[in-house]
C-alpha cells in the first residue's frame, strides 16, 4: 500500500502520483517505476521512497497535450472554483516560471480575498487557460506600471491586502493576467475565448453597477504584445526599474474598440438609471 506521509519539495508520494495520473497501484509500479519512467528516491536513513516531481509532471503534460490535440473544440469559460486554484498555479508556473509566478498558497489567498478574480477555460476538464482580473488599490497599480520587476509584483504586489472587492466605486482599476497553454494546438483560439469571456465578465459587473474604468496589463512576448495592441491598449513607459516587460493601459471610458461596444452601452444605461434615482431622492 502507498505511503501517505508528506513528500519533500520536488517530490511526490506514491499516492499523489497515482491520483495525478489517474492510475492504479499495479500500473504505477509496472509501467512507470519499474521501467524508470518515474525515478524513485529514498532519503538516507528512510525506508520510504518518493518520486521525482519533474518526471511525473512531464508525463502529465504529455497526457494532457495528447487529449487536447485530438479533442473537438468544446472549451468552456467559467468562474474558477477553489478546486481550480492548483491548476491555475501549475499553469502560471509553466508559463512564467517558478520564481515569476505565485505558489499555491498565495494563489489561494488571492482567491479568498476576492473569489471573483479568477476565470478558467477548460477543454476536456483540463484547464488550458485562465484569466486573472485583479481590482487593485491605486498605489499597487502605480508600483506595477512604474517599472517594478515582474517577479516582484506577481508575488509581492498581487497580494490580498492590495486586492479590492468588486463593489461599485471600489474596482475602477483592474490588472489583467491572461495565460494560455503555449504548447497546446489551439492556443490562439483559447486566447480569443478568454478575451470574449473576460468581456462578458466586464458586462456583468457593469450591470451590477461595478464600473471598471481602466484595465492594465504587461507582456514581453510577441503574441501578448499584439493581443494588447489589437484590443486597443496603449503602451506606457515605466519610470523606475525598466526591463523588457512592456506595460499597457486601456481606458474603457474612451475606448472605441467594437468588442467593448455592448459594455459601453450597459455603462451608459446604468449611469442614466442612477441619475434618475439620485434626482428622485434629492
129 and 100 fall within a common domain:
yes
Given a cut of 90, is residue 49 above it in pLDDT? no
41 and 103 fall within a common domain:
no
66 and 81 fall within a common domain:
no
59 and 115 fall within a common domain:
no
pLDDT digits (tens, 9 = 90+) for 198-249: 999 999 999 999 999 999 999 888 878 888 888 889 998 765 455 678 999 9
What pLDDT does residue 78 have? Answer: 94
Given a cut of 90, is residue 111 above it in pLDDT? yes
259 and 228 fall within a common domain:
yes
**Is pLDDT larger for residue 61 or for residue 80?**
80
**Is pLDDT larger for residue 20 or for residue 110?**
110
pLDDT digits (tens, 9 = 90+) for 90-106: 999 888 887 778 899 99
Calpha distance 141→138 (Å, rounded):
5
What pLDDT does residue 2 have? Answer: 47
Given a cut of 60, is residue 89 above it in pLDDT? yes
Considering the chain, what percentage of its residues have pLDDT values greater than 90? 39
Helix count and strand count (H, E) for the chain: 10, 10
47 and 150 fall within a common domain:
no
253 and 166 fall within a common domain:
yes
Domain finish residue from 70, 105, 125? 70
Instruction: Please tell me the total count of domains within the chain.
Output: 2
Domain finish residue from 70, 92, 121? 70
143 and 226 fall within a common domain:
yes
User: In 86-97, which positions are buried (b, 16+ CB within 10 angstroms) versus exposed (e)?
Assistant: ebbbbbbbbbbe
pLDDT digits (tens, 9 = 90+) for 150-169: 878 888 899 999 999 999 98
22 and 145 fall within a common domain:
no
What pLDDT does residue 101 have? Answer: 85
Mean pLDDT over residues 133-145, rounded?
95
CATH of the domain at 197: 3.40.630.30
> Using 50, 70 and 90 to split pLDDT, how confident is the model at 139?
very high
| pTM: predicted TM-score of the whole model, two decimal places | 0.72
Mean pLDDT over residues 178-197, rounded?
79
What pLDDT does residue 70 have? Answer: 46
Calpha distance 110→114 (Å, rounded):
6
Given a cut of 60, is residue 66 above it in pLDDT? no
93 and 170 fall within a common domain:
yes
Domain interval for residue 105: 73-281
What pLDDT does residue 1 have? Answer: 43
58 and 86 fall within a common domain:
no
What pLDDT does residue 61 have? Answer: 67
147 and 62 fall within a common domain:
no
Domain finish residue from 54, 70, 86? 70
* 174, 248 Cβ separation under 8 angstroms: no
The one-character DSSP state at 7 is P
Amino acid at each position: 500500500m502507498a505511503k501517505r506521509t508528506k513528500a519533500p519539495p520536488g517530490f511526490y508520494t506514491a499516492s499523489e502520483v497515482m491520483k495525478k495520473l489517474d492510475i492504479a497501484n499495479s500500473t504505477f509500479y509496472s509501467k512507470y517505476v519499474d521501467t524508470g519512467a518515474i525515478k524513485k528516491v529514498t532519503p538516507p536513513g528512510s525506508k520510504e521512497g518518493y518520486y521525482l516531481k519533474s518526471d511525473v509532471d512531464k508525463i502529465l503534460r504529455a497526457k494532457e497535450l495528447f487529449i487536447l490535440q485530438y479533442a473537438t473544440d468544446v472549451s468552456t469559460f467559467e468562474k474558477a472554483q477553489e478546486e481550480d486554484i492548483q491548476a491555475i498555479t501549475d499553469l502560471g508556473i509553466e508559463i512564467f516560471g517558478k520564481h515569476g509566478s505565485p505558489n499555491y498558497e498565495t494563489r489561494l489567498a488571492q482567491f479568498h480575498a476576492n473569489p471573483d478574480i479568477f476565470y478558467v477555460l477548460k477543454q476536456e476538464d483540463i484547464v488550458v487557460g485562465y484569466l486573472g482580473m485583479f481590482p487593485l488599490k491605486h498605489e499597487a497599480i502605480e508600483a506595477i506600471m512604474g517599472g517594478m520587476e515582474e517577479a516582484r509584483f506577481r508575488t509581492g504586489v498581487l497580494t490580498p491586502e492590495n486586492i479590492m472587492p468588486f463593489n461599485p466605486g471600489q474596482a475602477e482599476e483592474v490588472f489583467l493576467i491572461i495565460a494560455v497553454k503555449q504548447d497546446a494546438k489551439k492556443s490562439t483560439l483559447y486566447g480569443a475565448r478568454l478575451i470574449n469571456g473576460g468581456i462578458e465578465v466586464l458586462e456583468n459587473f457593469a450591470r451590477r453597477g461595478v464600473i471598471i474604468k481602466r484595465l492594465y496589463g504587461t507582456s514581453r512576448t510577441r503574441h501578448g504584445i499584439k493581443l494588447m495592441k489589437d484590443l486597443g491598449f496603449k503602451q506606457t513607459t515605466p519610470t523606475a526599474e525598466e526591463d523588457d516587460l512592456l506595460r499597457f493601459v486601456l481606458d474603457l471610458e474612451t475606448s472605441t474598440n467594437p468588442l467593448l461596444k455592448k459594455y459601453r452601452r450597459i455603462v451608459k444605461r446604468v449611469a442614466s438609471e442612477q441619475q434618475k434615482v439620485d434626482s428622485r431622492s434629492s
